[in-house]
Structure 1
Amino acid sequence: LIGREKEIERMVNILGRKNKNNPLLVGDPGVGKTALVTGLAQRINSGDVPNSLFRKKIMNLDVAQLIAGTSFRGEFESRLKEIIKEAKENKNVILFIDEIHNI
């Protein structure tokens, strides 16, 4: 990503922290938030990250699919909790929730 290296580096620094290591990308539609995550994935794949991020996998949570088919009260919340639990248990996963404002 040309011209977005600073933002990607900031994400790398935040993700490498021991605490408060959850970056939140906020902006209008189409400004490149998802592209920044793609840039981060490229850096991880190329090994151009600190050891704390080496071999991490970015898991994209599709909110629309998560909501689809939920007809019972609490079913969506249950699904989301299970996914977050699995992501916490697997220390090599970075959970990416695009369109989080739809939750």
Structure 2
Amino acid sequence: MGFAQQYEPGKDPKVLEKFTKNLNKEAIAGKLDPIIGREDEINRVIRILSRKTKNNPVLIGEPGVGKTAIVEGLAQRIVKGDIPSNLQNKTIYELDMGALIAGAKFQGEFEERLKAVMNKVKESNGDFILFIDELHLIIGAGKTQGSMDASNLLKPMLARGDLHCIDATTLDEHRLYIRLLALLVKKLQIFVKKILIEKYNFN
């Protein structure tokens, strides 16, 4: 029996190292570019993350507009201590879609890996924040198109408030798929401005 068949991500203490990137460590190592001109967006994300409910911001914009840079800027501010006290000990982990998919040969293997990552974030009791770029890729753009559908994993964790996350997607994909997830979870509240940042109220 090969390694791929034996591997159980739920029992792997290093599952975050395998399937995510620690943006705090990247910031400390100087591997993230300085962020210029995104202070307003970063501050809005901070305000949303600081809420007790409606605290999962979603960055919406076309590819290349700087959604990931906003999250990287947040990580840089965390490691510098330039952040409200309630967020000072937070660590941001960026989900690595390539690593999650790589070598996933069996049905449900991708979902098991994702579930293990989300459980690790949950076990941190709020100290870890999961950044999911291109959220639409994991909640199902239609299985006939080869996408993964992890909405059944996300839905209960978000509904219970177990998962603290920042998500990013494009406007077109948001219109098609993210609202579908919201209908499943219910109680979605949306606040949209120029650089679209939305607050998900799953609680």
* Counterpart mapping for 1:29-40 below 5 A: 29-40=63-74
Q: Does 1:94 align with 2:94?
A: no
Larger radius of gyration: 2
Deviation at 1:99, TM superposition (A): 2.5
Q: Distance in 2 between matches of 1:68 and 1:102?
A: 15
Of structures 1 and 2, the one scoring higher in RCO (CA 8 A, sep 6+) is 2
Counterpart of 1:55 in structure 2 is: 89
SS of 2:92's equivalent?
strand
What is the aligned length?
Answer: 103
Paired residue for 1:83?
117
How far apart, in 1, do the equivalents of 2:88 and 2:37 lie?
Answer: 23
Q: Which runs of 5+ in 2 are unaligned?
A: 1-34, 139-203
Q: Could you list the structure 1 runs, at least 4 aligned residues long, displaced by more than 3 angstroms after superposition.
A: none
In 2, the alpha carbon distance for the partners of 1:9 and 1:3 equals 12
Q: CA RMSD in A?
A: 1.1
| SS of match in other structure, 2:58 | coil
C-alpha deviation, 1:2, in angstroms: 2.3
Higher strand share: 2
Report deviation, 1:22. 0.7
Q: 1:44–1:55: 8 Å Cα contact kept in structure 2? A: yes
TM-score w.r.t. length of structure 2: 0.49
Matched to 1:100, the amino acid is L
1:92 shift after superposition? 1.3
Matched, 1:21 2:55: yes
Is residue 63–residue 100 contact of structure 1 (8 Å, CA) maintained in 2?
no
For residues 64 and 102 of structure 1, the distance between their equivalents in structure 2, rounded to whole angstroms, comes to 11
TM-score by length of structure 1 reads 0.92
CA contact (8 A) 1:7 1:36 kept: yes
Task: Tell me the percent identity.
Answer: 59
Paired AA for residue 98 in structure 1: D
